[in-house]
Amino acid sequence: MPVTFVGVRHHSPACARLVRAAIARLRPAHVLIEGPADFTDRLDELLLAHTLPLAIFTHHRDGDRTHASWTPFCAYSPEWVALTEGRAAGAEVRFIDLPAWHPAFADRGNRYSDAEERYAEATRRLCEELAVDNSDALWDHLVEVAGDDGLAERLTAYFDLVRGESEAGEDDAERERYMARWIRAAAADAGDRHVVVVTGGFHTPALRALTAAPGDGADGWPEVPAPAGGARHGSYLVPYSFKRLDAFTGYQSGMPSPEYYQRLWEGGPQAAADALTELVATRLRRRKQVVSTSDLIAARTLTEGLARMRGHAAPARADLLDGLAAALVNEDLAQRLPWSARAPLGPGAHPAVVEMVGALSGDRAGRLAPGTPAPPLVHDAAAELERLGLDTPGPRTLRLTRPKDLERSRTLHRLRVLGVPGATPTSATYTEEGWTLAGDDARDSALIEAGAYGATLADAATAALEERALAAGHDMAALAAVLDAAARAGCTGVSGRIAALLGGGIAAATDFGGLGAALATVLGLWRHDAVLGTAGSPLFAAVIDGAVTRLLWLAEGTRGGAAPAEPKRLAAVAAIRDALRHAAPVLTVAREDALGVAARISADPDAPPDLRGAAFGLGWAFDAADDPERAVRGAADARTLGDWLAGLFAVAREQVLTGGPGVLGVLDELVGGLTEADFLIALPALRQAFHHFPPRERETIARRLLERRGAAGSGRALLRGAPDPLAVARGRALEERAAAVLAEEGLL
Amino acid sequence: MPHPDAPPADAAREAQRPPAEVRFAAELARLRDTDTAPRPPGWALSLEAARRFIVGDPARDVARKFVGDPSLVDRALVTLATSRGLMLVGEPGTAKSLLSELIAAAVSGDSTLTIQGGAATTEDQIRYSWNYALLVAEGPSPRSLVPAPLLRGMADGKVVRFEEITRCPLEVQDTLLSPLSDRVLAVPELTGPDAMVFARDGFNIIATANTRDRGVNEMSAALKRRFNFETVFPIADFATELELVEAEAARLLEHSGVGVPPRRDVLEVLVTTFRELREGRTAQGQAMDRPQAVLSTAEAVSVAHAVGVRGWFLRGEAGTAADIVESLAGTAAKDSPDDLAKLRRYLEQQASRRDGAQWKALHAARHRLPG
């Protein structure tokens, strides 16, 4: 009953070779693989003529939690090789790990992610000892390009080291106890034939110890655990992609650069390096970047040199990337190289680096063979469309105030978020939407692909929106589109990751006006929107908090002397005011701090006048401004008065009207005291400023002015009587010029 | 074989700061004795041993001297073994000069062939000049020629360091073109074989440039093409930087007669503040305006020193977050009101969100910023 353990790193071509060699050598009776035990019965499905990569997608929902997870396979996955080679060698192939819905996987989205934090300290010390950048480079150095001689022993030593140093959690221990039961049963069943066990190397030392110890009395094949009654769960095959496999773009992933390792698996490291050097050059030239022949020669020389210095027989991934970077980048970089820092590409990355990372990541996408059972999303979508009467083509008009129509609208919006064809919006108002539905053959295939996002339309749309929020980065327009789509698709209740991603984007936004507009919209949705059901949504609350913090930060950084008032900027300050007034409970910025910022801006001679006026208004709106009359007097320069007032009126209109006669009196005095020339300079901005008052309030102002000057007549007449003010201004300018000429000639 | 003009080893040992090959002579000797790998022509050590000299080798008791990515050192060394020069660029205070000194010491066993770039640097200081008394007496001859670092490096097959190359006028920078590409320097005043100095194996150039002054954009494309660029970044890892600041500050404080070591929690706040302002991004991912001032690790050490001195001599304790605010005004903000405003915004809007007594103290002390 010999049992051979092959400890692997998931998605490692070297480990895949090791598995293939072990199976060919031992011709085992059983091949046991770390994978969901409840899928063993459906291995035939997995072995249809699919295009890799693909994944087993598992969803689970019960009273306490919903969970979705993936078990991805690509051509060079050791688990995939064990599966196919094991079958070909006539062995009985089984998955022996706990099912993916099991609580032991509660915080894992990817069964084959490395979960490296368990042994970070051990790898850090190894990296230091061998003077390599990080665990990716370490792995390549020790395993992928180190040759197959003694590879198995090296791996055993490596995994013994990392396991020996780290504390396995209860989740790991539970999985290992379960896998050990399968191994004992298989060993008993195999008689004197071999058993090959393919699991993550982290588990191998423990499994070896567990199977050597006497059994816990439970003999025979273990049973596959079933979820508690009432839980809904299922596992399906879904197409996967290299993009999602790559650590540079995904989270919780394993080995980076799938395209590189695919080529390494197919043709070895030298062929992979050569082909990818060429590919990077092609991609750069397509982007109109100059890559000369001497650059390419330099890249090859440097790659070779690095490989030799680091003791590699053929270049490793880091040698290739380092060589390319040294040869192709001839400027200073704004950020550390992503393969050194193990970080995703930041904005402003060097184009050569972007193309290098992109080429090594690749864009292969998997496809399921015809006849594969469709993922649950396909059934869920069909059932939803039928239930809501959306399964026949034709135009539809949906009134969002009716619950059933709102549900229909959300379903159609979710399909659009997922890129599923067949439903096109034709018109949209606040409460009504028009749609055209068409029967579309492409719908099912699009749904199969989208099936990788989730089991139901709501879950899948949420996951797809997360991805879009991540891709939007700091682009305010794109982020606003994600928010809008989330509101329309009814995905706002689920805060979590979308909120975090949007928060990250907002925290780095630089478009003051755009962010202000977004804040105003979101604030409205958060406070009132009963139609879309977004009132009080935690997602929007998080966005409001982030936007206010960021706007205050941006406001204080705004510089620039006299410039015409910018309505967008003023609207943004008004949005801050509304958020401080109505959304205080969800803000992390204290009101005093916000008003402190406002006070500093209003006193800052370098800030634009409209922003200073608005900042002063913000303080006044919360009774924190001292002596408005004095402030108005302080802004009395004819060139900036109108802009300053535009800011003040945009934010603190009510205070101006209700704050007693003082401010209006000062204004009257100031405007009355302007010389003719100054008045003409100030006039356009003053007009713009007073536009912030609606006609009724303008009338109030006019009446007060009349009262103040002791004149009779109605305020309305004063406003109505005025002809086109531009004509008046032109006339006055003409008069003044005539007077000047007359004075010059001594005629006046 | 040291150059005849080089100071004798004894003098170097008494110097305030001896060159790297003297400071680390024992380590270099150990590496040389155990070095079995093939050496590039003209090199004092193999690539592998040179690399270990800089990134450290616990097995041979060689200390780690550069805390950046080891792959940067790899690329730099391989570049020097090819026909391109090495250009180290980065913010001020990222240890570019130290790295270039270490590399020169490892590759050539001599880090003293150094040209300091500046607005007044001339070709004479780079290539060669004349002993005018001899020149007048004998006319141009190898005897009256005074070689400058470039000529010496070429003749002896050694690495020449060119510090702050972008601070030199463009014409002066371009002096390097033919030594880099044709590996030859003409001395037109001489005749015969002395008129051409051909570079011996082992010659190459390490230039450094900082991205703040004038940047590398003004370099000629021809010269840029002859260099491989390596960007040196500030220390990536918080713990490493904190450790370095703590060690250096403790050393300086002891030297200043301060009786207590710096407080760890105060230093944590200080280093975090420096890192976040330097990167223009908080640990939570919020983007901020970066001050113009240089916020290097070296500056952090000097602020930590100032904090300790204030605390000890004013109040007899180790210094608090409030002292950080006072000291920051002088270093981080220098005389720029803009930077001061950025700093104030940071203290007000970011410090208030952090947990911990020292952060609270930092926030509370924000009013101490001048202006």
Average pLDDT over residues A585-599: 85
Element (H, E) at A583: none
Residue B256 CA to residue B252 CA, distance in Å, equals 6
Residue A436's domain spans which residues? 379-445
Residue where one domain finishes, among candidates A210, A240, A270: A240
Residue where one domain finishes, among candidates A240, A266, A299: A240
Statement to judge: residues A341 and A201 lie in one domain: no
Question: In sequence order, what are the beta bridge partners of A32?
Answer: A94, A197
One DSSP character per residue, B84-152 reads SEEEEEESTTSSHHHHHHHHHHHHHS----EEE--TT--HHHHSEEE-HHHHHHH-S-TTTEEE-HHHH
Statement to judge: residues B224 and B270 lie in one domain: no
How many distinct structural domains can be found in chain A?
A: 3
Percent of the residues in chain A that have a pLDDT greater than 90, as a whole number: 16
| pLDDT exceeds 60 at position A147 | yes
Which phi and psi (to 5°) does residue B366 adopt?
A: -60, -25
Least confidently predicted of A411-415, A637-641, B178-182: A637-641
Residue where one domain finishes, among candidates A240, A273, A288: A240
- Identify residue A431 by its one-letter amino acid code: T
Q: In this complex, do B75 and A341 lie within 8 Å of one another by their Cβ atoms?
A: no
How many distinct structural domains can be found in chain B?
A: 2
ipTM metric: 0.85
Return the number of other C-beta atoms located less than 10 Å from residue A623's C-beta.
Answer: 9
Q: Least CA distance to B91: which residue of chain A?
A: A332
Q: In this complex, do A549 and B224 lie within 8 Å of one another by their Cβ atoms?
A: no
Least confidently predicted of A239-253, A472-486, A725-739, B55-69: A239-253
Residue B96 CA to residue B232 CA, distance in Å, equals 7
Confirm if A38 and A99 have CB atoms less than 8 A apart: yes
Confirm if A138 and A146 have CB atoms less than 8 A apart: no
Residue where one domain finishes, among candidates B172, B200, B232: B232
Out of A131, A298, A597, the one facing B56 most closely (by C-beta) is A131
| pLDDT exceeds 60 at position B369 | yes
> Domain for residue A666, yes or no?
no
Statement to judge: residues B228 and B242 lie in one domain: no
> Domain for residue B103, yes or no?
yes
Q: Least CA distance to B215: which residue of chain A?
A: A332
Question: In sequence order, what are the beta bridge partners of B162?
Answer: B115, B207
Question: In sequence order, what are the beta bridge partners of A486?
Answer: none
Out of A309, A336, A588, the one facing B47 most closely (by C-beta) is A309
**Shortest Cα distance, chain A CAs vs residue B158, angstroms:** 20
Out of B55, B74, B286, the one facing A322 most closely (by C-beta) is B74
Residue where one domain finishes, among candidates B186, B213, B232: B232
Q: What is the pLDDT of residue B214?
A: 62
| pLDDT exceeds 50 at position B4 | no
Q: What is the pLDDT of residue B357?
A: 86
Q: What is the pLDDT of residue A281?
A: 92
Q: What is the pLDDT of residue A251?
A: 44
Percent of the residues in chain B that have a pLDDT greater than 90, as a whole number: 36
Q: In this complex, do B227 and A330 lie within 8 Å of one another by their Cβ atoms?
A: yes
Q: Least CA distance to A474: which residue of chain B?
A: B287
| A335: nearest Cα among B92, B88, B90, B55 | B90
Highest mean pLDDT among A373-382, A609-618, A637-646: A609-618
| pLDDT exceeds 50 at position A201 | yes
> Domain for residue B160, yes or no?
yes
Angstrom CA distances, B88 to A357, A365, B105, B214, B295, stand at: 23, 40, 16, 14, 19
Statement to judge: residues A383 and A313 lie in one domain: no
Statement to judge: residues A394 and A286 lie in one domain: no
End-to-end CA distance of chain B: 59
pLDDT band at A247 (very low <50, low <70, confident <90, very high): low
Return the number of other C-beta atoms located less than 10 Å from residue B366's C-beta.
Answer: 18
Statement to judge: residues B223 and B281 lie in one domain: no
Statement to judge: residues A296 and A421 lie in one domain: no
pLDDT band at A679 (very low <50, low <70, confident <90, very high): confident
Alpha helices in A47-95 (DSSP H): 78-88
> Domain for residue A29, yes or no?
yes
pLDDT band at B161 (very low <50, low <70, confident <90, very high): very high
Statement to judge: residues A73 and A186 lie in one domain: yes
Return the structure tokens found at B325: 């605010």
Return the structure tokens found at A368: 């399921």
> Domain for residue B97, yes or no?
yes
Q: In this complex, do B349 and A330 lie within 8 Å of one another by their Cβ atoms?
A: no
Residue where one domain finishes, among candidates B213, B232, B251: B232
Statement to judge: residues B61 and B160 lie in one domain: yes
Out of A302, A332, A556, the one facing B345 most closely (by C-beta) is A556
Statement to judge: residues B343 and B361 lie in one domain: yes
Q: In this complex, do A129 and B58 lie within 8 Å of one another by their Cβ atoms?
A: yes
| pLDDT exceeds 70 at position B1 | no
| DSSP class of A437 | E
Q: Least CA distance to A509: which residue of chain B?
A: B287
Residue B131 CA to residue B140 CA, distance in Å, equals 9
Residue B288 CA to residue A665 CA, distance in Å, equals 42
Q: In this complex, do B55 and A596 lie within 8 Å of one another by their Cβ atoms?
A: no
| A604: nearest Cα among B28, B338, B200 | B338
| DSSP class of B7 | P
Angle at A183 between CA A180 and CA A184, to 5 degrees: 90
Average pLDDT over residues A552-557: 84
Statement to judge: residues B152 and B267 lie in one domain: no
Return the number of other C-beta atoms located less than 10 Å from residue A367's C-beta.
Answer: 15
Q: In this complex, do B286 and A508 lie within 8 Å of one another by their Cβ atoms?
A: yes
Contacts of A330 in chain B (CB under 8 A): 224-225, 227-229
pLDDT band at A657 (very low <50, low <70, confident <90, very high): confident
> Domain for residue B4, yes or no?
no
Out of A302, A552, A589, the one facing B79 most closely (by C-beta) is A302
Least confidently predicted of A148-152, A309-313, A622-626: A622-626
Return the structure tokens found at A371: 């006849």
Q: Least CA distance to A604: which residue of chain B?
A: B341
- Identify residue A622 by its one-letter amino acid code: F
Average pLDDT over residues A46-70: 82
Statement to judge: residues A390 and A337 lie in one domain: no
Confirm if B206 and B232 have CB atoms less than 8 A apart: no
Q: What is the pLDDT of residue A661?
A: 64
Question: In sequence order, what are the beta bridge partners of B281?
Answer: B287
> Domain for residue A87, yes or no?
yes
| pLDDT exceeds 70 at position A51 | yes
Contacts of B71 in chain A (CB under 8 A): 132-133, 137, 318, 322, 337, 340
Statement to judge: residues B205 and B341 lie in one domain: no
Contacts of B81 in chain A (CB under 8 A): 305
> Domain for residue B173, yes or no?
yes
pLDDT band at B120 (very low <50, low <70, confident <90, very high): confident
What per-residue string of b and e applies to A642-676 under the rule 16 or more CB within 10 Å gives b? bbbbbbbbbbbbebbbeeeeebbebbbebbeebee
Q: In this complex, do B228 and A330 lie within 8 Å of one another by their Cβ atoms?
A: yes
Statement to judge: residues A226 and A262 lie in one domain: no
Q: In this complex, do A332 and B231 lie within 8 Å of one another by their Cβ atoms?
A: yes
Element (H, E) at A632: helix A628-634
Statement to judge: residues B53 and B172 lie in one domain: yes
Statement to judge: residues B224 and B280 lie in one domain: no
Give pTM, 2 decimals.
0.77
Q: What is the pLDDT of residue B2?
A: 44
Angle at B329 between CA B324 and CA B332, to 5 degrees: 90
Q: What share of chain B is helix, strand, coil (3-state, %, to 5)?
A: 50, 10, 35
Q: In this complex, do B229 and A330 lie within 8 Å of one another by their Cβ atoms?
A: yes
**Shortest Cα distance, chain B CAs vs residue A529, angstroms:** 29
Residue B327 CA to residue B129 CA, distance in Å, equals 46
> Domain for residue A131, yes or no?
yes
pLDDT band at A215 (very low <50, low <70, confident <90, very high): low
Residue A539 CA to residue A532 CA, distance in Å, equals 14
Statement to judge: residues A127 and A226 lie in one domain: yes
Q: What is the pLDDT of residue B111?
A: 92
Average pLDDT over residues A612-640: 84
> Domain for residue A388, yes or no?
yes
Biggest CA pair distance of chain A: 128
Q: In this complex, do B58 and A330 lie within 8 Å of one another by their Cβ atoms?
A: no
Residue A634 CA to residue A636 CA, distance in Å, equals 6
Residue A696 CA to residue A700 CA, distance in Å, equals 6
> Domain for residue B123, yes or no?
yes
> Domain for residue B16, yes or no?
yes
| pLDDT exceeds 80 at position A539 | no
The per-residue pLDDT for range B269-320, each reduced to its tens digit, is 999 988 888 887 777 666 677 787 778 888 888 899 999 998 899 988 888 8
The per-residue pLDDT for range B21-77, each reduced to its tens digit, is 999 999 999 999 998 889 999 999 999 999 999 999 888 889 888 888 899 999 999
Average pLDDT over residues A511-523: 84
Give B202-266 as a 3 state SS string.
Answer: CCEEEEEEECCCCCCCCCCHHHHHCEEEEEECCCCCHHHHHHHHHHHHHHHHHHCCCCCCCCHHH
Residue A16 CA to residue A51 CA, distance in Å, equals 18
> Domain for residue B2, yes or no?
no
Average pLDDT over residues A725-738: 84
Angstrom CA distances, A235 to A232, A274, A375, stand at: 11, 40, 8
Q: In this complex, do A322 and B75 lie within 8 Å of one another by their Cβ atoms?
A: yes
Residue A222 CA to residue B153 CA, distance in Å, equals 74
Confirm if B228 and A305 have CB atoms less than 8 A apart: no
Confirm if A93 and A33 have CB atoms less than 8 A apart: yes
Confirm if A602 and A620 have CB atoms less than 8 A apart: no
| pLDDT exceeds 60 at position B9 | no
What per-residue string of b and e applies to B204-235 under the rule 16 or more CB within 10 Å gives b? bbbbbbbbeeeebeebeeebebbbbbbbbbbb
Residues 6+ apart with CB under 8 A from B46: B35, B36, B37, B38, B39, B40
Residues 6+ apart with CB under 8 A from B17: none
Average pLDDT over residues A684-698: 85
Percent of the residues in chain A that have a pLDDT greater than 70, as a whole number: 93
pLDDT band at A492 (very low <50, low <70, confident <90, very high): low
Radius of gyration of chain B (CA): 24
Question: In sequence order, what are the beta bridge partners of B186?
Answer: B196
Say which residue the tokens 């904190």 belong to: B242
A660: left (phi over 0), alpha (psi -120 to 50) or beta: left
Average pLDDT over residues B162-172: 89
Mean pLDDT of chain B: 86
Q: Least CA distance to B231: which residue of chain A?
A: A332
Statement to judge: residues A217 and A342 lie in one domain: no
Q: Which CATH number do you get for residue B84?
A: 3.40.50.300
Statement to judge: residues A219 and A125 lie in one domain: yes
Q: What is the pLDDT of residue A249?
A: 47
Q: In this complex, do A326 and B228 lie within 8 Å of one another by their Cβ atoms?
A: yes
pLDDT band at A250 (very low <50, low <70, confident <90, very high): very low
Statement to judge: residues A169 and A289 lie in one domain: no
Angstrom CA distances, A645 to A573, A649, A678, stand at: 14, 6, 16
Highest mean pLDDT among A79-83, A374-378, A380-384, A712-716: A79-83
Q: State the angle between helix axes of A442-450 and A376-387 in degrees (0 to 180), rounded to the nearest 10.
A: 120
Q: What is the pLDDT of residue A115?
A: 64
Residue B125 CA to residue B152 CA, distance in Å, equals 12
Residue B188 CA to residue B162 CA, distance in Å, equals 24
Statement to judge: residues B271 and B327 lie in one domain: yes
Q: What is the pLDDT of residue B281?
A: 77
Residue B108's domain spans which residues? 9-232
Q: What is the pLDDT of residue A691?
A: 84
Q: What is the pLDDT of residue B286?
A: 67
Q: What is the pLDDT of residue B327?
A: 84
Statement to judge: residues B162 and B96 lie in one domain: yes
Biggest CA pair distance of chain B: 77
Q: In this complex, do B81 and A305 lie within 8 Å of one another by their Cβ atoms?
A: yes
Residue B195 CA to residue B157 CA, distance in Å, equals 18
| pLDDT exceeds 60 at position A252 | no
Q: In this complex, do A510 and B287 lie within 8 Å of one another by their Cβ atoms?
A: yes
Q: How many CB pairs (< 8 A) connect A and B?
A: 115
**Shortest Cα distance, chain B CAs vs residue A216, angstroms:** 45
Q: What is the pLDDT of residue B135?
A: 92
**Shortest Cα distance, chain A CAs vs residue B346, angstroms:** 9
Q: What is the pLDDT of residue B29?
A: 93
Statement to judge: residues A206 and A262 lie in one domain: no
Q: What is the pLDDT of residue B93?
A: 81
Average pLDDT over residues A220-236: 81
Residue B281 CA to residue B289 CA, distance in Å, equals 8
> Domain for residue A201, yes or no?
yes
Statement to judge: residues B298 and B226 lie in one domain: no
> Domain for residue A208, yes or no?
yes
| pLDDT exceeds 80 at position A716 | no
| pLDDT exceeds 70 at position A497 | no
> Domain for residue A202, yes or no?
yes
Higher-pLDDT residue of A662 and A260 is: A260
